[in-house]
Structure 1
Amino acid sequence: MLHTDDFTDTGWATVRVADDRELVVSFDAAPATATAHGGPSPQTLAALLPRVRDLLADFGNIGRTAVDHLWQWGADPSDTDEDRAEFTATMHPSDLVVRTDGGFALHYQDTGGRMPDGYWPAVHFTADRTPDRVTVEC
């Protein structure tokens, strides 16, 4: 279970999720609530940790929703069921970024070569866990 001390020095922590994969958990803190390392203040962190624990407890569902949304966002009409299966197998969640408004983003590592080198997709969710948008980051 995550505690505030896990984030004190860096503002992020690494946890294990489905298939024993590592996932970096961090926060998108507003400047007024951020510490010198960019993480949230102890008060903000204490308020956000229950949300993080809840998201991690339901990570399997969140991950499936995110990769489905990502597929729908970027799929070509000529893509086949085999293409979708390969896509799903090669998109691995790498980072969970939790916002102070309750929303969050799930960043993916692409091991299948669909994204240009140095770029990765992120699926952004609203506080009610609805996929809101996709960004491609570098």
Structure 2
Amino acid sequence: MPLPEGRAWLTGSTYGRADADARPRIEDHAANPERLRELLPQAAASLAPHFDDGSVRAWSGVRWASSDRRPLVGEVGDGLWVSTAMGSRGLTFAALCGEWIAARLHGEPRPLEARLAQAIDLVRSKAAHPAKRTGL
């Protein structure tokens, strides 16, 4: 990803339930190289010098998730549609949720059977809340 300082690789790794504090934490930042060593040893070895020299910077944010951890998709007002609350599953759900909205808007066959569509329908839940915290 291009940034003003040059190219960057961004990833989210920590995941705190019911935590909306978006400040980076030293303990989260310190846990990331260890988690990387467990999951991807070769990547960890390649990145170790950058962690050691302090060039890996911490960042954090909040992953919005619904109380049942499924996306909220639907019309919230006259012509205003949302696809939100995907938590850490955005790459998995974004295209499908977008297809669902497009099919509804254009009267096309829907890409989900009724039972699955109901599982992501906005009306099943009145509010999404910031249930997860993420950071590197």
Q: TM-score band, normalised by the shorter chain?
A: under 0.3
TM-score, normalised to structure 2, is: 0.27
Higher strand share: 1
Larger-gyration structure (1/2): 2
Q: Which has the higher contact order (CA 8 A, sep 6+)?
A: 2
TM-score, normalised to structure 1, is: 0.26
